[in-house]
Amino acid sequence: MADQNKMHNLTTLIKRLEAATSRLEDIAGSVDGAAPNALQAANSRGTETSSVAAQSQTTITPIPEEKPAEPLPRQVEEFDGLIEGDVAAFVQAAAQIGGLPEQQARAVQSAFQAERNFLLMTTKAKKPDPMKPEIIAEIHKYISEVDELKETNRASPFFTHLSMVSEGIVGLGWIMETRPADYVVSALGGAQYNGNKVLKEYKEKDPNHVKYVRAYEKVFKSLATYCKEHYKTGLTWNNKDGIDAMEALNQIQSGAQTPKASQQTSAGGPPPPPPPPLPVFDDNGIPGPPPLPAAATAAKGGDMTAVFDQLNQGDGVTKGLRKVDRSEMTHKNPSLRAGSAVPQRSASQTSLGSGRSKSPMPARKPESLKGKKPGKKELDGQKWIVENFDNTGNEIIEIPAELNHSILITKCTKCIIKVNGKANAISIDNCSGLSILVESLVSSIDVIKSPKFAIQVDGVLPTIMLDQVDGGQIYLQEASMRAPPEIFTSKCSSINIVTPPTNDQDDSKESPLPEQLRSYFRNGRLHTEIVEHAG
């Protein structure tokens, strides 16, 4: 009996499987259109099959395809590559140190991103005249943040790190220059001065700091290369068919790539509301009230047509005025004058109403307003740095030089410097009234933009190079005259060379360097010769 029950169950199971198979075949036939009456056959087998077949005939609404994004210009794509590559590597290196360096690196990354949006805007917009400060407000915001982190953390052990980044970030101001690559290289030079200090301190202690400095240098080296390739002679704009600069910038910041894309959504609905206008910054960096919409401005003050309509009323223009009573006249009531003083405007209100535009980069104080920096003499690696000495009187600043040492003397006024020993080279830059005594040099001494100088050479000096100097005395001794130096001048005047007396002379001889050149044509070619001094 048990075997018969098993056989009965097995037979029932096979019949159910055959019925299910038949239903599936009918459904497949209705989808493929193979049999016109397949749906009726399915309905005759049960309501469940009918329901499944009905669902299979439901029309599927196609999903609208999104419009592909507009391709980015090549210069913007490569700037994105700079951000994703070198800038991201710098942020990652700063994260290994943490703290203030990492926070400042994040601000650097934001500044580069803001400049990327600005560059994309220039490909869509005409150049505004004059340049509106709102266009570069976001770049200025993050550059100021980088500089503020340095100024507010002078007591930090990472102050040199912060100074390096602050000196370099001004390189983003290349967008206002006619020679962008040179401007970036100049900013990099200022950053490397503090970067070398970090390398000297941490080279043997922590490789993360070395990686941090190298990563930052690489960012601006890559930026200089980028400027040479895409903006060799300055920023370019889409003056041919571009739109308003602020309109383009608002579209970019709100995520719209092109003006056409902002006019309708992918589903064909109305365009999204415009983003709020950028804030207007005064000279102190304080955001002012946003500009009123055009409709509100018209409702508030009206246009000039309404003004002329009122003036054309003739005598009726004064119809709405009332006569002032004697008791309300301030010129007849001194007590009223005393109580109606006009309040003075604050400095921020005055600057907001002045209408002056904000500089694109953080304003630097003029040298005359800055406090005098103390004189400094230090050996940085193989280079002596002497700067900011002022009117030292008879005090002599001595430098113990060695054969591989170079010496940089800058921003020194009316002081005396003596170089003991034989050095490699000396560079004098932006000094006034400087007197320097030199024993011997391996290479040369350069004097740049330093008026009224005096150089005394006791030993051997191969080369003297002078550039943009006015008024100078060079004293050569007998040892110097055994191998006289070569002297190169450019844009110089009133330079005298004093040599020691010879056998037939009792006094030293003073020889002025020529300042005049004579040029003339001979056989169609230009010839130039020096006008020798008489006597």
Q: What is the DSSP string of 453-492?
A: EEEEE-S---EEEEES-EEEEEEE-HHHHHSPPEEEEES-
Give the range among 33-47, 100-114, 309-323 with minimum mean pLDDT.
33-47
pLDDT given at position 490: 86
- Fold adopted by 82-230: 1.25.40
Strand partners, 499: 509
Q: What average pLDDT does the segment 209-232 reach?
A: 92
Q: What average pLDDT does the segment 30-41 reach?
A: 48
**H/E stretch holding 530:** strand 525-530
Domain spans of the chain, in order of start:
10-55, 82-230, 376-530
Percent of the chain exceeding pLDDT 70 equals 67
Residue 444 burial by Cβ neighbours in a 10 Å radius (0-12, 13-18, 19+): middle
Note whether 133 and 291 are within 8 A (CB): no
| pLDDT above 50 for 267 | no
What phi and psi, each to the nearest 5 degrees, are found at residue 203?
A: -55, -40
Q: What is the pTM of this model?
A: 0.41
Residue 80 vs residue 245, higher pLDDT? 80
**H/E stretch holding 526:** strand 525-530
Q: Which amino acid is at 407?
A: I
Q: Grade residue 66 by pLDDT with cuts at 50, 70 and 90.
A: low
List, in order, residues 6 or more apart from 332 with CB less than 8 Å away. 326
Domains 82-230 and 376-530 in one fold? no
Mean pLDDT of the chain: 77
Residue 397 burial by Cβ neighbours in a 10 Å radius (0-12, 13-18, 19+): middle
Q: Grade residue 107 by pLDDT with cuts at 50, 70 and 90.
A: very high
Beta strands in 367-485, from DSSP E residues, in sequence order: 376-380, 383-387, 396-400, 406-410, 416-423, 425-429, 435-441, 444-448, 453-457, 463-467, 470-476
Residue 141 vs residue 504, higher pLDDT? 141
Q: Which amino acid is at 453?
A: F
**H/E stretch holding 132:** none
| pLDDT above 50 for 53 | no
Residue 449 vs residue 49, higher pLDDT? 449
Q: Which of 386, 435, 429 is nearest to 407 (CA)?
A: 386
| pLDDT above 70 for 105 | yes
Give the range among 57-61, 244-248, 319-323, 440-444 with minimum mean pLDDT.
57-61
pLDDT given at position 357: 44
Q: Assess if CATH 3.40.50.800 describes domain 376-530.
A: no
Q: How would DSSP label each residue in 493-523?
A: EEEEEEE---TT-SS-EEEEPP--EEEEEET
